Structure 1
Amino acid sequence: MTDAFVLVLGVALLAAVLLSGLATRSALSTTAVFLVAGLVVGPLGLGWLRFEGGAVERAAEIALFAVLFTDGQHAPWRVARRAWRLPARALLVGMPLTFVLVALLARYLAGLDWGPALVLGAVLAPTDPVFASALVGQEHVPERVRSALNIESGLNDGLALPAVLLLVGTFGGHPEGFSTTWWVLLAELAAGAGLGVLMPLLVHQLLRLRALTADRRLRPLGPLAMAVVLFGVCDLVHANQFVAAFVAGAVVATLRPDASEEFKPTGELVSELTKGAALVCFATLIDWTVLGEAGWISLLFAVLVLVVTRPVPTALAMLGSELTARGRVAVGWFGPKGFASVAYAVIVSGSGMPGAEEVLAFTAVVVLVSALAHSSTDVAVARWWDDPRTEPVRSTRS
């Protein structure tokens, strides 16, 4: 399986590179290339590859960690201090409302029992930075829009995990390797945030020692090496690695902006590679059993999750903010569901909770639809601000 996976990933990566120029000016996306590759060689296609849930969960975690660490470097303290209001609205108002709406859809549209419906609401509440990264990385898109999406997606993945685990424990599940005790989950969140601050501070102090110098050619690998160590430490002490990744990226950009700028091209390439590998793994998780478990109603459910449960709460959360109508539409639409939801759904499926397989099936369909929809519209939305005469940002304070 390993040899076949390497070959498929290599072919998909080469195709993504060769088509990347077309992807920047059309609805085609490199995300679609990796997804199609996984679907073709997976159980829905030729049947060459099939990854189990644990492998998919791990691949999703690594990809999400890499993307969050890289995206965190777009949010140094000077940016976060100016831009905290909009992400706070999204996290404190928009995310809980999304949870409620998804749970109601799962209960009354999909017909799930209340337990799986509430768990599915928590699984699909966070947004994914992977599929919004193309918009976040466009410098001509207003900073308020990019910062709102970046900071929100950087934090909500880690914040959603405790809610998922608490609900799974409440409804009879026992996720292997995870606690369902609220104070332990809070401690893991705090540990993630703390490690995200302490690790860059430690490396920063080491670099101030005269005996230690980094060769210019290897300096872009410094933040990457630190991120790998951070991932391992979080695993070892059971800290919340998603919060740790984003916080660490932001701290690196704050302490050493020069190193952060040097690392960004490397970080984006590493993120693209891990994202591609995770997408191929995820696509092989989808088989006829999963689709049969979800049924045709899952497609309608997925569409409503994308066009109702994110845009409506976001519109309410952003009322009276400084965002223009164009900015509110962009922030509302770019609430993709991705690797965090996949990882959490796999955890749920192995917990023994009644209805766990339904949670995994509906999550898989929603993520598949979201990946295709959001990765094919990021270029079009970014072009809204190509015109230098674009609508100015309102001065109203949030």
Structure 2
Amino acid sequence: MFDLSDWSPDPYILVLTGVGVLIALVAWLPLALKRLPLSLPIVCIAIGAAVFLIPQVSGEPLPLAYPEVTERFTELVVIIALMGAGLKLDRVFNWRRWGVTWRLLAITMPLSIAAITILGAWGLGLPWVIALLLGASLAPTDPVLASDVQVGPPKTGEEDEVRFGLTSEAGLNDGLAFPFVNLAIALGLYAANGEPWLGQWIAHGVLWEIGAGVAGGWLVGRLFGWLTFRVPAETRLAKTGDGLIALAATFVSYGVTELFECYGFLAVFITALTLRQAHREHDFHREMHDFAEQIERLMMMVVLVLFGGALVSGLLAPLRLVDIAAAIVILLIIRPLAGLVGLAGFKAAWGEKLTLAFFGIRGVGSFYYLAYGLNHMPAEGGERLWAIVGLVVLLSVLLHGLTVTPVMRQLDRSQGRDPDAEGIPLSGGRGAASSETTS
């Protein structure tokens, strides 16, 4: 007879079983949660908290205990999410048609960074350099956790102005937030050892890294577009039907541009957009997108399970009451107000503007920026910074996760689309008459 008292399972077998369960959940949970006011990230965090509360599970997955692993793993998740986001977009790149994107990038994000920096310095008592790092970490909309408010897969027609704006913003603002992270690092190094910073930051941290990142991403996208769709039929990569090409383009784009000290996040998204334009109507874009999305979801679940474990291991212990109030202000006041300011004068229905302003989801990208900043500059109080960022992400996951399904379904109905019909409109057209542009 099997004696439970003598049972000592092999940790490898337990890990293998857990990974299998996780993969099954990756495939099944999005379907199960589709019509519920509940999101996949909420479930993942709950699973992580439950697992790490089990007495037999040892270890505390706190980010400061594994700073290099935290930085690299979150970095990997973000770049894969950026490739998937870029491949989704059906809209041809055009300065006018992308008007909502430029507003969110050029107005909303800098305002958010400035407001969070001031809040951190005056409200939380943080040094200005640390407050700037906090602002740069919490301002960008996350490309990983924002999938519920993003456009649908390529060529599905699920691309209204709200979904397009949030997808394109999440794709580009991760790269454009980096200059502010680097500014905080430069100021921190200047305070520590007097290193000159202004000229170096403008010339290298802004002009070179953004310009070369865009150029490098475009060149890699052109190369992969030619290899995938334009070479002789017998050897073009599209013939393989293998979505691994998306992963290859992601790593090559990020790796090559980072070798030249450019913004790899920005390069990956530009590569995805360029690759998407190479042969816009080809079905292979769907295969590449679906593969990237599957890898992204699996890695996202791992990050959030570990995040849940960190929460029950004391991640939020350094929080003060003022920190909790600040986190609420960031989510409910700073982002929505900055979003509405950025969208002032934009030709869209008031409900669309509110949705765009409200769903500035914070997530894995914030983890990466904070880990990167703390790993590259002298800083005290890292535990408190991680607690603040962790709380903002947790509240964002809960707030946005519980509201995204009813809000987006109501938005679809208001624009004449049936939310249960995979993008099929209830009435004529796609219901985007209130949008400033169409795809």
Contact 1:132 1:374 in 2 (8 A): no
Helix, strand or coil for the counterpart of 1:212? coil
Please state if 1:23 is matched with 2:46. no
Gaps of at least 5 residues in structure 2 are: 1-10, 417-430
Q: Which position in structure 1 is the counterpart of 2:115? A: 101
Answering whether residue 344 of structure 2 is matched by residue 327 of structure 1, we say no
Q: Secondary structure at the match of 2:141?
A: coil
Secondary structure (helix, strand or coil) at the match of 1:387 reads helix
Q: Helix, strand or coil: the match of 1:171?
A: helix
Query: Which of the pair has more CA radius of gyration?
Result: 2
Which of 112, 128, 141 is the matching residue for 2:126? 112
Residue 312 of structure 1 corresponds to 337
Q: Is the 8 A contact 2:48 2:307 kept in 1?
A: yes
- Residues 395 and 164 (structure 1), Cα distance of their counterparts in 2 relative to 1, 3 Å cut: closer
Please give the alpha-carbon distance, in whole angstroms, between the structure 2 residues aligned to 1:396 and 1:348: 38
Secondary structure of the structure 1 residue equivalent to 2:144: helix
Query: Does 326-335 or 94-103 show the bigger shift?
Result: 94-103
- Specify which of 228, 243, 246 is matched with residue 251 of structure 2: 228
Alignment of 1:357-396 (within 5 A): 357-387=383-413, 390=416, 393-394=433-434
Give 1:93 shift.
1.1
Structure 2 CA distance for aligned equivalents of residues 160 and 90 of structure 1: 12
Give the Cα–Cα distance (whole angstroms) in 2 for the partners of residues 172 and 3 of structure 1. Answer: 46
What is the 5 A alignment of 1:22-171? Answer: 22-42=32-52, 48-51=58-61, 52-75=66-89, 78-138=92-152, 143-171=160-188
- CA distance change for structure 1 residues 392 and 216 in 2, over 3 Å: closer, same or farther? closer
What is the root-mean-square deviation of aligned Cα atoms in Å? 3.0
Equivalent position to 1:185, from 185, 205, 215: 205
Task: Output the CA distance in 1 between the equivalents of 2:410 and 2:322.
Answer: 33
Deviation at 1:19, TM superposition (A): 3.5
Comparing 5-14 with 151-160, greater Cα deviation is found at 5-14
Aligned counterpart, 2:7: none
- Do 1:130 and 1:275's aligned partners in 2 also have CA atoms closer than 8 Å? yes
The change in CA–CA distance for 1:123 and 1:43 in structure 2 (over 3 A counts) is farther
Q: For the structure 1 residues 219 and 22, does the alpha-carbon distance in structure 2 shift closer, same or farther, using more than 3 Å as the test?
A: closer
Cα 1:252/1:140, change in 2 over 3 Å: closer
Match of 1:198? Answer: 219
Name the amino acid aligned to 2:353.
Answer: R
Deviation by residue 1:110-133 (Cα, 9 ceiling, x = unmatched): 332333222211211111122222
Question: Structure 1's 385 and 395: CA in aligned 2 closer, same or farther, altered over 3 A?
Answer: closer
Distance 1:304 1:395, change over 3 A: closer
Q: Which amino acid aligns with 2:132?
A: L
Which residue in 2 is equivalent to 1:209? Answer: 231
Could you tell me how far apart the structure 1 residues matched to 2:266 and 2:128 are?
A: 29
Residue 59 of structure 1 contacts residue 281 of structure 1 at CA under 8 Å; is this kept in 2? no
Go from structure 1 to structure 2 and tell me whether the alpha carbon gap of 1:313 and 1:230 turns closer, same or farther (over 3 Å shift).
Answer: same
Residue 249 of structure 1 aligns to a residue whose secondary structure is helix
> Partner amino acid for 1:22?
A
The percentage of counterpart residues that share the same residue type is 26
CA distance in 1, matches of 2:238, 2:216: 26
Cα distance in structure 1, aligned partners of 2:16 and 2:259: 28
Q: Cα 1:85–1:319, aligned 2, differ >3 Å: closer, same or farther?
A: same
Number of residue pairs matched by the alignment? 394
TM-score (norm 2): 0.80
- 1:57·1:346 contact (CA, 8 Å) conserved in 2? yes
Structure 2 counterpart of 1:381, one-letter code: V
Work out the CA distance in 1 between the residues paired with 2:432 and 2:47: 42
